[in-house]
Structures are given as structure tokens and as C-alpha cells.
Amino acid sequence: MASSTQQAMNRNGKEVGATRAGLLSRFGNLRIAETEITCEVEFTFATLVADWDRYADCLNSFAERGFTAQNTEFLAFDNSEGNRADGFSWLRATLAQARGRYIVFCHDDVEALDDFETLTGVLEHLETHDDRWMIAGNAGQRPALFDNGKRKHTRVRYLSHKPGKLDFKGSLPERVESLDENFFVLRRDRAPVGSIDLDGFHFYGPDLCLNAEIMGGHAYVVPFAVWHKSKGSYAEAFLDARDRFRAKFARFFPGRVYRSTTTTIHFGLLDWIAALVRPAAQMRRAPVMPVTKPNPRGMRPWHVLAEVENQEG
């Protein structure tokens, strides 16, 4: 077995440390990558602000419950004069500038009912019992597969839609397959991101949950309560977003019946088969990419090109 000294030698017989030090000295734009993120505060809150008066109430409520400048930062995406960010793009922008250990997304019309210690406590509980949790919120849907027959619904909730009344369903924390977008938390060091082929203001919570699931992560409803002052919209934009969401994820979950907090979606086998036998809609709409370096031997299969190269060699 090679000694530790031999293992620390590179192919030229030099010590790895000496080579590394020489490269760091020679290249001023080279640095050793960190494997852990740096956190200056505990939470980075991100909000799509359509109404600054509503957002003032939101900020005041969290400040009054211990979310201070010492432990929390707030990022506001100003959508008051036009949409500068949507439900699918905000997280990519937030990740580039967040300083918190956790990223919290909330609507501008929510007000905190629980405090800083409550939120840190429920997240520490998740960390202790499931190191694969990726996203947690206050309202979601359990997969019907897990229904034990004693409950007639799959809803899991811990929030208020009316002052003084808590909507509490489920035993928390509870694994869910989808989350409502009014309030949710992600770990910054392993956050799922929104799909780049979807946009708008509907289904971005379920999108994050399914992307987390594909990555091997889990979603939970946890006991942290806010007062959510609205119940959302089911206009034409909602129906269009639902159809695009279904078309995308039917390719990954054929045959699955998926429950969001607003609707039930059937990822049918026919949708999956259609995706196999015809190009996906986004491929048909994609611009034609001009070729800048044509292959001089023509468009032949890779194994044929390999044989040609071997003959020429």
C-alpha cells in the first residue's frame, strides 16, 4: 500500500501542496472553492411585491415577532409597476444575492402569527429527522397513496385565512407532494430551483416540490402559522398554467395522480406516450441554432466516425 507521502505526490513526483501553492501564486484569479456556504443571517425573505402598503404590514408583522436585522434580511422584487420577476424566476435571482442559511418565500399579503424561535425550532426538527428535506411550507397535499382511510381528505394545513381562526389539518411535520405558495422555506445549500420552461404565478410551488422530488429530496408541511389574506385566483391564466404544468411533468411521472392545494392533475399515460412519439412543444417552438463548426466528415454516427479516425490514425 502506498504511503501517505507517496499518495500526496503528483504524476511528476512533486508534492501536491507545492504545486497548489505555485498555481495560487501564479494565477491571481484562482481560489480554492468552499464546500459549505457562508451564512451571515439565518433567513433571507423574498417577496414579489405588487402592493407596497400590504407589504408594509407583512414586514411589520415579522419584525414584531423577532425577525430582526441581526438575523433576517428581506429582498423585495418590485412588481408594483409591472412584473419584473415571477414565481419561477425569483429563486434564481435570490440565490445569487441571498446571505441567509434559509430562503423564505412569502406573498406580500401574509402576516406572521408565530415568531423567529418557532420557525428555527421546526427547521431544526426537520434537520434532525430527515437530512433530505428541501422545502417546507404551511399548506400542502399528501399523496393519496398514503391515505390511511381514516381521513377523507389529503389536505395538510397550518395557517389562518381569518383573524383568530387557525386552519389546522394533519399531524405535523408531515410529508407532502405539493405546497401552497403563500409561505415556504428552502435550505439555501440544497435548494431546488424553478423550471426555466415554465413561467407565471401559478404552480411554482408544486414545480419546486416535484423538482426537489426528482433530485431525491422531500417536502413537508410544518407548524409555522401566518395569516394569509387572500385565497388566490382561478382565472384563465390558472387554467393555462395548469395545462403547461401537466404537459411538462407527465413526461416524468406517467400515470400519476398529483394533488396540489388548488386542483388535482392526472399525469396521464397518453400524455407520456405523446411525448415519446412526437417532439415536445418547447422543442418545436425553440429557435433553430445555426451550426458554427460543421463536421468535415458529415453527419455520421459516432461509431462510424471512430472507425474513420482509427483508419486515418
Per residue in 47-97, pLDDT (tens digit) is 999 999 999 999 999 999 999 999 999 999 999 999 999 999 999 999 999
How confident is residue 4, by pLDDT bands cut at 50, 70 and 90? Answer: very low
Check residues 18 and 234 and name the one with the higher pLDDT.
Answer: 18
Query: 300 pLDDT exceeds 60?
Result: no
Check residues 60 and 143 and name the one with the higher pLDDT.
Answer: 60
How confident is residue 293, by pLDDT bands cut at 50, 70 and 90? Answer: low
Q: What b/e readout covers 45-78, taking b as 16+ CB neighbours within 10 angstroms?
A: bbbbbbeeebbeebbebbeebbbeeeebbbbbbe
How confident is residue 5, by pLDDT bands cut at 50, 70 and 90? Answer: very low
Could you tell me the CATH superfamily of domain 41-233?
Spore Coat Polysaccharide Biosynthesis Protein SpsA; Chain A (3.90.550.10)
**For residue 231, what pLDDT is reported?**
74
- Mean per-residue pLDDT, 292-297: 67
β-partners of residue 219 are 135, 176
Query: 304 pLDDT exceeds 60?
Result: no
- Mean per-residue pLDDT, 260-267: 92
How confident is residue 198, by pLDDT bands cut at 50, 70 and 90? Answer: very high
Residue 309 is placed in which grid cell? Answer: 479516425
- Mean per-residue pLDDT, 268-275: 67
* Domain boundary assignment for the chain: 41-233
Which phi and psi (to 5°) does residue 178 adopt?
Answer: -150, 160
pTM: 0.82
* C-alpha span between 188 and 196 (Å, rounded): 19
Check residues 94 and 164 and name the one with the higher pLDDT.
Answer: 94
Average model confidence (pLDDT) across the chain: 86
Strands 100-106 and 41-49: parallel
- Mean per-residue pLDDT, 252-263: 91
Check residues 234 and 239 and name the one with the higher pLDDT.
Answer: 239
Bond preceding residue 296 cis, omega within 30 of 0: no
- Mean per-residue pLDDT, 209-237: 91
Per residue in 149-162, pLDDT (tens digit) is 554 568 999 999 98
**For residue 1, what pLDDT is reported?**
45
Those residues whose C-beta lies under 8 Å from the C-beta of residue 304, and which sit 6 or more positions away, are none
Q: What percent of the chain has pLDDT over 90?
A: 67
